[in-house]
Amino acid sequence: MNTWVKDAIVYQIYPRSFKDSNNDGIGDINGVRSKLDYLQQLGINTLWLSPVYDSPCDDNGYDIRNYQAILAEFGTVQDFDLLLEECHQRGMKLVMDLVINHCSDEHEWFEQSKQSKTGPYADYFYWADEPNDLRSVFGGSAWEYCESRQQFYLHTFSKKQPDLNWECSVLVSEIEQMVDWWLDKGVDGFRVDAISFLDKSGIEDAPNGTFATEACVNRPKGHAHLRKLMSKIHTRDVLSVGEINARDTGELLDYVLPSRNEFQMAIVFTPPEIEVFHENLNRYYKEQVKTRIEVQRQGAWNANFLSNHDKPRQVSLYGDDGEFWLQSAKALAVLNLTQHGTPYLYQGEEIGMTNCYFDEISDYDDIDTVAKYQEQLELGLSSDDALALVSKASRDTSRTPMQWDDSTFAGFSEATPWLKVNENKSTINVKAQQQDTESILHFYQQLIELRLSSETLKTGETSLYDTEDAIIAYQRESDSCTYSVIVNLSPARVSAPNLPELQSAELLLGEELNESLAPYSFAIYKS
């Protein structure tokens, strides 16, 4: 793995919601470029840009119509080149979001494939005469009938996202050429989207009603395709992170063990409902920490994250966006920035942005939310009950415009944004926190500085203290020093763990450990 990857602090930008430079209500590439000073001052050295390719935006860009063109609403290829150039001038890296499990049904490949069963594009997708009853992640059947071809095509996600057939070698070589085009441009790597489903051999015998993702997940040919593609990508000085579905640590290791030559690290996708409705999130999170420790023990690298564009915001999910908003946001930052592996920050987490819920389903944009709402109506729920249920885990809760200041549209735009601004922008925004040395923003700057200064926090051994559910506590150790991190991830005051070895340690950040830990309190000691 390239050394810069172990020093990376990755900031995920959802371009649609980050900054609108031309006041059309939609974030764009020039908006991202206008905020590079801000990101650099925060201590960010690597950007992960959610898709900016040409797309009909059925799934907000995760449905690509042309892999080598930029979505007009986001700008031009020249705008992109300028962003990349300015990132590199600042010593920052830019990682793209590569969506190659599927493309858009408006992609030329699909336009051609649906015209002929014998033409050169016939096998770029999965076609069937009499398909089984596989389910799509975004609701309904995973098979869609196509009049022009008189057959059904497979779509794991929306019907506007036909799955690409990785058994078709001509298609794979086109994908490889496209990837090289971006690498030759100088991009610094890829976050590879929804990449656990490339092997469709499980489809034929999947029981009716199975989700297509389940029928195809983590199968041998998928790994083989990945090894071939990633071995080419890894000939460059890049970062690679796969977005994978792993049902246990073994399935995760299959993607990230160095000997496997697949990804340098992996973001494990978890359906938002799992966490939102979990009965004991602290226990769930502690299992994540244990998994990371096992990944490290096996000689692999971790990707640490608490938020992204597919799940609710961390301070609302794991912390407290009410009474303990400030403290819990800082406690979560400590967990995200002191573990082994590469930390991933999602836009807005550095100022403690919270979930945002809307009063009408028409206010929601996310295809996944709308599909789940319809499903609940068909199950007989009232529109109010259906909305109340699906809004809790809606991906839109974390996709509202970035809150730069307290103006009408939070400094994101002068025009009405594509998705409503969270009303708490009046108090939660970058401008207010830049002027407050006790703010979450300043705390992130301190933590990132500490992280970047310490080889031990990046690569040191990790051992978990055996503590009650509410307390997440671990050591990070190397030959040169030891850090002890103790976090009370609960709104209750709890008894402090007995750690006599900390008597002689230096408190770097947080509150001195004594008999008890205040709600969401934390401490980072060094010895």
- Contacts with ligand TEU, residue ranges (CB under 6 A): 59, 62, 99, 137, 157, 193-194, 243, 269, 271-272, 309-310, 368, 395
- 233 SS3 class: helix
Q: What is the dihedral of CA 342, 346, 349, 354, to 10 degrees?
A: -140
**Least distance between ligand TEU and beta carbon 144 (Å):** 16
| Choices 22-30, 52-60, 161-169, 475-483 (CB under 5 A): range interacting with Ca ion | 22-30
Among 9, 26, 356, 421, contact with Ca ion (rule: CB under 5 A): 26
**Least distance between Ca ion and beta carbon 51 (Å):** 16
Residues 6+ apart with CB under 8 A from 423: none
Q: If you search the block for the tokens 């919270």, which residue do you land on?
A: 354
**Least distance between ligand TEU and beta carbon 271 (Å):** 5
Task: Extract the runs of DSSP E, i.e. beta strands, from 378-481.
Answer: 461-464, 471-477
Tokens representing 218?
């983590």
Q: Distance (Å, rounded) from C-alpha 212 to C-alpha 84?
A: 36
Residues 6+ apart with CB under 8 A from 90: 36, 40
**Least distance between Ca ion and beta carbon 56 (Å):** 17
- Spot the catalytic one: 193, 310, 350, 396: 193
Among 2, 22, 298, 374, contact with Ca ion (rule: CB under 5 A): 22
**Least distance between Ca ion and beta carbon 17 (Å):** 11
Q: Distance (Å, rounded) from C-alpha 217 to C-alpha 53?
A: 26
> Which of Ca ion, ligand TEU, none interacts with 20 (beta carbon under 5 to 8 A by kind)?
Ca ion
Nearest-5° Cα angle at 170, 167 to 171: 70
**Least distance between Ca ion and beta carbon 25 (Å):** 7
Q: If you search the block for the tokens 């999910």, which residue do you land on?
A: 317
Q: Choose between 20 and 243: whose C-beta lies nearer to ligand TEU.
A: 243
Q: Choose between 135 and 420: whose C-beta lies nearer to ligand TEU.
A: 135
Nearest residue relative to ligand TEU (C-beta): 62
Residue 20 is a binding residue for Ca ion (CB under 5 A): yes
- Which DSSP string corresponds to 65-108? SEEEEE-GGG--HHHHHHHHHHHHHTT-EEEEEE--SB--TTSH
> Which of Ca ion, ligand TEU, none interacts with 353 (beta carbon under 5 to 8 A by kind)?
none
Residues 6+ apart with CB under 8 A from 173: none
- 499 SS3 class: coil
> Which of Ca ion, ligand TEU, none interacts with 24 (beta carbon under 5 to 8 A by kind)?
Ca ion
> Which of Ca ion, ligand TEU, none interacts with 350 (beta carbon under 5 to 8 A by kind)?
none
> Which of Ca ion, ligand TEU, none interacts with 143 (beta carbon under 5 to 8 A by kind)?
none
Tokens representing 284?
């769930």
Task: Extract the runs of DSSP E, i.e. beta strands, from 307-436.
Answer: 342-346
Q: How many CB atoms lie within 10 A of CB 29?
A: 28
| Choices 25-33, 142-150, 155-163, 469-477 (CB under 5 A): range interacting with Ca ion | 25-33
Q: Choose between 105 and 243: whose C-beta lies nearer to ligand TEU.
A: 243
> Which of ligand TEU, Ca ion, none interacts with 243 (beta carbon under 5 to 8 A by kind)?
ligand TEU
Does residue 243 carry a catalytic annotation? yes
**Least distance between Ca ion and beta carbon 20 (Å):** 4
Q: Distance (Å, rounded) from C-alpha 26 to C-alpha 345?
A: 22
Residues 6+ apart with CB under 8 A from 442: 433, 436
Q: Choose between 98 and 473: whose C-beta lies nearer to ligand TEU.
A: 98
Q: Which of 373, 348, 340, 299 is nearest to 139 (CA)?
A: 373
Total residues at interface with Ca ion (CB under 5 A) = 5
Q: How many CB atoms lie within 10 A of CB 481?
A: 16
Residues 312-341 that bind Ca ion (CB under 5 A): none
Among 7, 24, 251, 406, contact with Ca ion (rule: CB under 5 A): 24
Residues 355-384 that bind Ca ion (CB under 5 A): none
Q: Choose between 99 and 421: whose C-beta lies nearer to ligand TEU.
A: 99
Among 17, 28, 200, 410, contact with Ca ion (rule: CB under 5 A): 28
**Pair 352, 326: CB distance under 8 Å:** yes
**What length is written for the chain?**
527
**Pair 477, 457: CB distance under 8 Å:** no
DSSP 164: B
Q: Distance (Å, rounded) from C-alpha 2 to C-alpha 4?
A: 6
Q: Distance (Å, rounded) from C-alpha 504 to C-alpha 527?
A: 7
Does residue 167 carry a catalytic annotation? no
| Choices 19-27, 141-149, 236-244, 517-525 (CB under 5 A): range interacting with Ca ion | 19-27
Q: Choose between 194 and 450: whose C-beta lies nearer to ligand TEU.
A: 194
Residues 133-172 that bind Ca ion (CB under 5 A): none
Q: Choose between 143 and 325: whose C-beta lies nearer to ligand TEU.
A: 143
- Spot the catalytic one: 28, 243, 254, 366: 243
Q: What is the dihedral of CA 57, 61, 64, 68, to 10 degrees?
A: 120
Q: Choose between 62 and 444: whose C-beta lies nearer to ligand TEU.
A: 62
> Which of Ca ion, ligand TEU, none interacts with 123 (beta carbon under 5 to 8 A by kind)?
none
**Least distance between ligand TEU and beta carbon 269 (Å):** 5
Q: Choose between 19 and 458: whose C-beta lies nearer to Ca ion.
A: 19
**Least distance between ligand TEU and beta carbon 236 (Å):** 23
Q: Distance (Å, rounded) from C-alpha 105 to C-alpha 56?
A: 9
Which positions lie near Ca ion, rule CB under 5 A? Answer: 20, 22, 24, 26, 28
Active site residues: 193, 243
